[in-house]
Amino acid sequence: MKTEYLLHREVEHVLAALMPVNRVVMRVCIHTGLRVGDVLALRTDQIAPRFWVTEQKTKKRRIVGLPADLLADMRKIAGKKYVFEHSNDPERHRTRQAVWKDVKRAARAFRLPQNVAPHSARKVYAVDLLAKYGDIAKVQRALNHSGPSVTMIYAMADQLYRQKYHKKPHEA
């Protein structure tokens, strides 16, 4: 089952219910559009207001920017090697599964009907980017998609959500 989009109020609910470190992970995902594995692999010496990331899945490089408050929160929790350290081994980063379980738990706590997972953050990012710029090519580049068809599914996720769950735009 594919992960689904979250309305902004649902995002806030899920974020509020997450463990503090996982909340920061998801905020980075939402703000940058990076996949959770790429966020978890961020090294402490790498983070800055703007920095380069090589995506694990695509091997493509892209620059990401972080607002000052999110950067400060990341620096507060950063380990020696990784920003998001594994709870038992500082030489490893936190696992995708640990974040996934927490996101699932948070979504269940609010009885959200859709399939929510860390990848839902990428859809929120895509919808927000399309609303901000109105340019699907720009969203495609930001997500490092090879073609516009997948990008359209992400960028139109809010409309698909509203069709499926019969929500009106003002309910976001």
* Per-residue pLDDT reduced to its tens digit, 17-29: 999 999 999 999 9
Given a cut of 70, is residue 113 above it in pLDDT? yes
- Residue 34 CA to residue 70 CA, distance in Å, equals 15
With CA atoms as reference, report the closest residue to 29 among 80, 100, 108, 107.
100
> What is the reported pLDDT for 160?
80
With CA atoms as reference, report the closest residue to 78 among 44, 27, 51, 48.
44
List CB contacts of 150: < 8 A, sequence separation 6 or more. Answer: none
Share of the chain above pLDDT 90, in %: 77
With CA atoms as reference, report the closest residue to 65 among 74, 56, 77.
74
Given a cut of 90, is residue 152 above it in pLDDT? no
Given a cut of 60, is residue 159 above it in pLDDT? yes
> What is the reported pLDDT for 121?
96
* pTM metric for this prediction: 0.91
For the stretch 63-98, pLDDT in tens is: 999 999 999 999 999 999 999 999 999 999 999 999
Whose structure tokens read 């920017």?
65
Given a cut of 80, is residue 40 above it in pLDDT? yes
Please give the average per-residue pLDDT across 103-113, as a whole number. 96
Given a cut of 90, is residue 166 above it in pLDDT? no
Helix, strand, coil share (%) of the chain residues, nearest 5 = 55, 10, 35
